[in-house]
A and B are shown apart, each in its own frame.
Chain A
């Protein structure tokens, strides 16, 4: 492997300028390799969300470089970053963010539409993804007919349907009860192991972070701890 999947070099994110400048990230160095399952923790305002936005190619660093698969994302324009997201990234959000009044399978198909996958093939891939998250029998249900855990599974299916390099999950269990949370986490672990999908997940809950192979702690825009779960606990 020529380069790591994700590499932050002195990534700084600053809002405003001069005396009024606010730093969300202060010179982050970070490498994430293919196949890792990383949990990102930290109090609110610690910079973890900003880091996730940069990681997800939604935002660019003010200083430093972010290389994704060896590509300097900071030099990419809006549309080029959209292409990176389309082909290499999958997103899972705390609030599920499924399209209302749109069936589960159609929600899962959405990223494939933008990839230009033909309708028949798209349906097949979407159903396969739903099967992987255990919802093959709920394909035609609308999100409001599904429980929170089921909705998050649909969202996960949507993130993996296009076979991304990385799945970015922003507090995927934040709106779920403990039992459901554990189910979702087990699903993520399975996908990480069986499918080899790299997962970067933000969470507040140490129990959920414990499912990851590596835990990174943010505070005040810096990484204060980074290591296997045993050390970070």
Chain B
């Protein structure tokens, strides 16, 4: 009987394709919005998580200046770090595996007649240890190169591709600000970070080479610290803060003129922001589903009035009230599920396109699709019940007389 009813309702809907589509538009939009939001939200979360693990697990970044995103602002209070700071952190703070001193600049490198702009980082092999990164070709820095600040460089895979177009760069020489620099290695590919930047587009040189030949001062503008997995990053972060305050002579009431960023914290903050956004937009989608449900109720009431005679005939030939109720309820649910399926398809399509524009990975989530499907069916039940009950309560004699 249920099978017959479903078949009947599909036929009724097919007879009024245009009207059915317009009726379920609200549900389509609501479901599509939920799917888009959740898919993009999960994609963002996934890429943030991926970028954090790409940076290396248990990473702290220490910058001069007030806490905040982006490059440290060059205010009067900014005081860069020294080699002594790095050594002190490595030796005195428990839980620190390595602290990599860094100086970075955005510069253009030239190979032959190819120009390419990228980040130039001065550091030493501790940076590769902290990021768990190795060369794909060539080698890392030798101790003498680090000590002497030799003009050698290791390229990220994207930079290598841009400058040498697939050729082997090891042994070649590139120029950075007129400084000839011998390529000794190419790094393994890390891929995009969740913040939308290409992690493989960089040139790494020995710290002293960048300090002396490029920036012209012996300061360190960033420390990249890898924490022993046996320690809490928050504890280590607190120890580093205490040490640096002491070394920089900041009193008990003074504010920090440096910041320690815990990448895990940054990730969870970004994730929670995207969670809040997803929640807000899902609420909008919920309103759309409500409006869609009212649309279905409206059209079902019209349908009951239009088909009063049919209801009369059915009752006369022996349909029970609950069978008529079921028929119209199934019709409403079929409509809303039809809308739900359209919405899921539309939502996945929009999420795929939108994800490409926003460079957010497409995360296929069957659970949310199942929830959207069930929810659209529930909208059908909730808003189809009232019209269906009205149909079921018709008096067959009156219904048969209806013109």
Q: Does B21 contact A (CB under 8 A)?
A: no
Residues on B with C-beta less than 8 A from A79 are 320-322
In the complex formed, the residue of B with least CB distance to A56 is B316
Residues on A with C-beta less than 8 A from B322 are 79
Q: How large is the interface on B (under 10, 10 to 19, 20 to 34, 35 or more residues)?
A: 20 to 34
Contact of A86 among B310, B317, B396 (CB under 8 A): B317
Given A59-B397, A99-B310, A116-B1; A91-B317 close (CB under 8 Å): yes
Residues on A with C-beta less than 8 A from B314 are 110, 114
How many angstroms from the CA of A90 to the CA of B318 in the assembled complex? 9
Q: Which 10 A-B pairs have the closest CB atoms?
A: A86-B318, A85-B318, A111-B317, A82-B320, A79-B320, A114-B318, A97-B313, A91-B316, A58-B396, A58-B397
How many angstroms from the CA of A99 to the CA of B318 in the assembled complex? 15
Given A113-B4, A114-B323; A83-B397 close (CB under 8 Å): no
Contact of B397 among A53, A78, A97, A113 (CB under 8 A): A53
Contact of B318 among A59, A82, A93 (CB under 8 A): A82
Residues on A with C-beta less than 8 A from B396 are 58
Contact A83 B309 (CB under 8 A): no
Contact B318 A58 (CB under 8 A): no
Residues of A within 8 A of B (CB): 53, 56, 58-59, 78-79, 82-83, 85-87, 89-91, 93, 97, 99, 101, 110-111, 113-116, 158
Q: Does B400 contact A (CB under 8 A)?
A: yes
Q: Does B315 contact A (CB under 8 A)?
A: yes
How many angstroms from the CA of A115 to the CA of B314 in the assembled complex? 12
Q: Does B319 contact A (CB under 8 A)?
A: yes
Residues on B with C-beta less than 8 A from A90 are 317
Residues on A with C-beta less than 8 A from B310 are 99
Contact B315 A82 (CB under 8 A): yes
Contact B318 A111 (CB under 8 A): yes
22 contacts across the A-B interface (CB closer than 8 A): A53-B397, A58-B316, A78-B320, A79-B320, A79-B321, A83-B318, A85-B316, A86-B318, A87-B318, A90-B317, A97-B309, A97-B313, A99-B313, A101-B15, A110-B313, A110-B317, A111-B317, A113-B4, A114-B314, A114-B318, A114-B319, A114-B323
Q: Closest CB of chain A to B396's CB: distance in Å? A: 5
Contact flags (1/0) for B315-340 with A, using CB distance below 8 Å? Answer: 11111111100000000000000000
How many angstroms from the CA of A221 to the CA of B394 in the assembled complex? 26
Contact of B317 among A59, A85, A101 (CB under 8 A): A85
Residues of B within 8 A of A (CB): 1, 4, 15, 309-310, 312-323, 396-397, 400
Residues on A with C-beta less than 8 A from B4 are 113
In the complex formed, the residue of A with least CB distance to B310 is A99
Q: Closest CB of chain B to A142's CB: distance in Å? A: 12
Q: Closest CB of chain B to A228's CB: distance in Å? A: 30
- Do most interface residues of chain B lie in helix, strand or loop, or is the interface mixed? helix
Q: Closest CB of chain A to B322's CB: distance in Å? A: 8
Residue of B1, B4, B316, B397 ringed by the most chain A CB atoms within 10 A: B316
How many angstroms from the CA of A87 to the CA of B318 in the assembled complex? 8
Contact A114 B316 (CB under 8 A): no
In the complex formed, the residue of A with least CB distance to B309 is A97
Residues on B with C-beta less than 8 A from A91 are 316-317
Q: Closest CB of chain B to A21's CB: distance in Å? A: 19
In the complex formed, the residue of B with least CB distance to A111 is B317
In the complex formed, the residue of A with least CB distance to B15 is A101
Other A-B pairs beyond A82-B318, A97-B400, A113-B1, 7, CB < 8 Å: A58-B316, A79-B322, A82-B321, A85-B316, A97-B313, A99-B313, A110-B317
Residues on A with C-beta less than 8 A from B1 are 113, 116
Q: Closest CB of chain A to B16's CB: distance in Å? A: 10
Q: Closest CB of chain A to B261's CB: distance in Å? A: 68
Residues on A with C-beta less than 8 A from B400 are 93, 97
Q: Closest CB of chain A to B311's CB: distance in Å? A: 11
Residues on B with C-beta less than 8 A from A101 are 15
Contact B317 A78 (CB under 8 A): no
Contact B317 A83 (CB under 8 A): no
In the complex formed, the residue of A with least CB distance to B307 is A99
In the complex formed, the residue of B with least CB distance to A83 is B318
How many angstroms from the CA of A79 to the CA of B321 in the assembled complex? 7
How many angstroms from the CA of A53 to the CA of B319 in the assembled complex? 16
Contact A78 B318 (CB under 8 A): no
Contact of A82 among B15, B319, B397 (CB under 8 A): B319
How many angstroms from the CA of A81 to the CA of B199 in the assembled complex? 78
How many angstroms from the CA of A110 to the CA of B327 in the assembled complex? 13
In the complex formed, the residue of B with least CB distance to A80 is B320
In the complex formed, the residue of A with least CB distance to B403 is A95
How many angstroms from the CA of A214 to the CA of B397 in the assembled complex? 26
Residues on B with C-beta less than 8 A from A82 are 315, 318-321
How many angstroms from the CA of A87 to the CA of B313 in the assembled complex? 15
Q: Closest CB of chain B to A47's CB: distance in Å? A: 14
Q: Closest CB of chain A to B394's CB: distance in Å? A: 11
How many angstroms from the CA of A116 to the CA of B317 in the assembled complex? 13
Residues on A with C-beta less than 8 A from B313 are 97, 99, 110
How many angstroms from the CA of A73 to the CA of B243 in the assembled complex? 96
How many angstroms from the CA of A158 to the CA of B318 in the assembled complex? 12
How many angstroms from the CA of A86 to the CA of B310 in the assembled complex? 16
Residues on B with C-beta less than 8 A from A99 are 310, 313
Residues on A with C-beta less than 8 A from B319 are 82, 86, 114
Residues on B with C-beta less than 8 A from A93 are 400
Residues on A with C-beta less than 8 A from B312 are 97
Residues on B with C-beta less than 8 A from A78 are 320-321
In the complex formed, the residue of A with least CB distance to B5 is A113
In the complex formed, the residue of B with least CB distance to A122 is B4
